[in-house]
Chain A
Amino acid sequence: MSDELSMWERPLNRRGFVAGASAAALAAAGLGRLGATDALAATEQGGTLFYYNWAQYVNPKTYAEFTKATGIKVKKGFYDSNETLAAKLRGGARGYDLVCPTGYMTKELISEKRLLPLDWSKLPNVKRNADPKFLRTGDDPKGTYSVVKDWGTTGFMYRTDKIKERPTTWREFVALTKKYSKTSLVDSSPEVVGSIATMLGYSYNTEKQKELDAVRKVLLELKPHIVLLHSSNYDTAIARGQAWMGLGWNGDGLALAARLKGKARYVVAKEGGEIWIDYYNIPVGAANTDAAHAWINFVYSPRIAGLETSYTYYGSPLKRSLLRGTAAGALLKDPVVFPAPATVKKLETNQVSAAGKRLRERIWTEFKAS
């Protein structure tokens, strides 16, 4: 079965839509000359970078430009949940040079001593170009092990041509799910349990038994109306009309809207929800830490960061002013990619403890089995 397992992970994407691998080949054709800032990173190094990441979470053009600038080839592997990544690292997997877990998982991995400290002398672009608030996040205050990759929100998306209502809250999301029975959810307990908890007025991270019981009740009522539970096929299912609405991430929502030419919308629910930050981490057992540093530094040059945001539709950690005039320029005013401060204030990061996680997993198993 192990062969199928690794195959299984390949075509999946949490972030972004299925763009087709041919994009990488196309990208190689249309490359321009490297800019002056890129040249700083472009010390010839060679070797291979084993980049284990969410699928469709890097602009295919970036791989080609990186190899051209540094001579480092990129070997790719993909996962579709933080837990899968953690299971691999905890199972003793070696040789991944660069991984991108979400904040809560970075914290877990740090506490378990599964990450290597960064050498900041190799990251001049990060020091120069990062928005200072992303250099001091709560997950790793001194940036000893991590650099921000992207940030985004967890909300819901829906087809405006299939659903005539214009939902803006989790409560409406739940009501419309019961009305149409055409909803997909990501196959991940933190997002689903947390979002329903915010709907009920609790914290996204609640661990109180009474509140979790209330969440459980809502979820069990919802189950017969769920079409699909999947963290990466869901946007395709919505695009095909197999589902009309889905709980998911903002970048997927915007990519879906682009794919359907505006006939879909992404919403950050009024009650609140999750804001997440994904980090670059170098795991213990990395074979080429120089290559990992080179990648991080490379994507922190404004032009490349712009390429990335224009592809993933996720918020960039660079100073906003540096992104003007890049490929992401047009997205700077898009509230889905860069939500307003008032929206962000209502959102919470995932901070569930180990004990809380166990309580939530039991609910999740019951939900899936019901």
Chain B
Amino acid sequence: MAPPEDGPKEHRRGLTRAGAGGPRYPAWLVLPAVSWYVLFFLVPLGFIVATSFGTVVGFSDIAYTWSLDNYRYLWDDVVGELHIYRDIFLATFKLSIVGTLSTLAIGFPLAYYIARYAKHKTLLLLLVIVPFWTSFLIRAYAWLIVLDPEFPLFRALGMSELVERQGILFSEKAIFIGVTYNYLPLMVLPLYAALERMDWSLVEAAQDLGDSPLRAFRRVTLPLALPGILAGSLLVFIPLTGEYIIPVILGGNKTFYAGSLIAQQFLESGDWPLGSAIAMVVIGALTIALLIYARALGKQEQYG
């Protein structure tokens, strides 16, 4: 009689582990993570919130006046005629969208190939990660040399003039190229993780039952890869909203994005209150976007 009794017990234990019951792990396990976030995220965020309601006195001193002036200034800009800041926010949104879509367009086929067909998966994944061993900054500077019309390869191919005429270096195109290159691994890795877990016999089954390859991809592969697509898009999109090194180096610093705008307020203008207010607007917009995203995701899971 012993075995049958054991069975349900095992089952119940499994349920508890899945989170239905009380805490099985001591709460102090999350202490390092929580204190890290409180100390290095919530506290600085509090400073930014407080500073954003301040005013600059003299060249740099901050008076915590709890005034709405900085937000009012930004609001007037957005609804007014000048709309400098509105255009900067729109350009930032565009950069983030373009960067996310281009890394997805390049990253998906690559991850698909590695996960489904490649023989040396580990080697290929390693090659995707290798650029990360070099500093972000140096990778951006490297493109400064590659996009130069005088780059030896272009000269050898007699393409220098063509490249020169395209005017890629110090333009928006150069920024998009640099962004796509630098953020690609962040997209490929979660896509690969999702596709690697996939049971490819499902695709074969769909095709055996009459689906065309394209239809099978749309109805089987894509829904199963969706968590990877969403995770990769978040990993690329969120840091891109604060990107400012690539535009400075490859874009010639001529196009202004939210990241460069905030950096300028802090480092050059010495206007920390306005910089903080701009940062709060970016954080606020991002939070709203993520909430919408999470809701859409929740619905997706219900139907999926």
Contact = CB atoms under 8 A, between A and B. Distances in A.
Partners in one complex: yes
B267 A83 contact: yes
Contact of B137 (A7, A84, A226): A7
Interface residues of B, number: 36
A369 B88 contact: yes
Interface string A216-234: 0000000100111110010
Interface in B102-151: 135-138, 141, 148, 150
A112 B61 contact: yes
B242 interface: yes
Interface string B256-276: 100011001011111100000
A357 B59 contact: yes
A242 interface: yes
A230 B58 contact: no
B62 to A, nearest CB: 9
B248 A108 contact: no
Given A81-B268, A83-B267, A369-B87, A354 B58 contact: yes
Given A90-B60, A227-B170, A8 B271 contact: no
Interface in B238-291: 242, 245, 248-249, 252-254, 256, 260-261, 264, 266-271
A229 B136 contact: no
A230 B260 CA distance: 13
Given A227-B252, A365-B84, A368-B256, A112 B268 contact: no
Contact of A242 (B58, B61, B170, B260): B170
A87 B59 CA distance: 11
A1 B242 contact: yes
B252 A365 contact: no
Most buried by B among A223, A228, A365: A365
Contacts of A111: 58-59
Contacts of A365: 84, 256, 261, 264, 269
B270 A87 contact: yes
Given A112-B61, A242-B170, A354-B58, A368 B254 contact: yes
- Majority secondary structure, A binding face: helix
Contacts of B245: 4, 8
Given A4-B136, A241-B150, A354-B59, A229 B252 contact: yes
A345 interface: no
A112 B57 CA distance: 11
A240 interface: yes
B150 A108 contact: no
Interface in A1-59: 1, 4, 7-8, 11
Given A112-B59, A230-B252, A189 B137 contact: no
A206 interface: no
B186 interface: no
Contacts of A90: 60, 270
A344 interface: no
Contact of A84 (B60, B87, B261, B267): B267
A226 B254 CA distance: 8
A123 interface: no
Given A83-B269, A87-B270, A240 B150 contact: yes
B117 to A, nearest CB: 36
Contacts of A364: 269
Contacts of B266: 87
A260 interface: no
Most buried by A among B82, B138, B253, B271: B253
B137 A228 contact: no
11 contacts: A4-B137, A81-B268, A86-B59, A90-B270, A226-B254, A228-B252, A233-B249, A240-B150, A354-B58, A354-B59, A364-B269
Given A187-B253, A230-B252, A242-B169, 8 more contacts: A7-B138, A81-B268, A84-B268, A223-B254, A227-B252, A361-B271, A369-B88, A369-B256
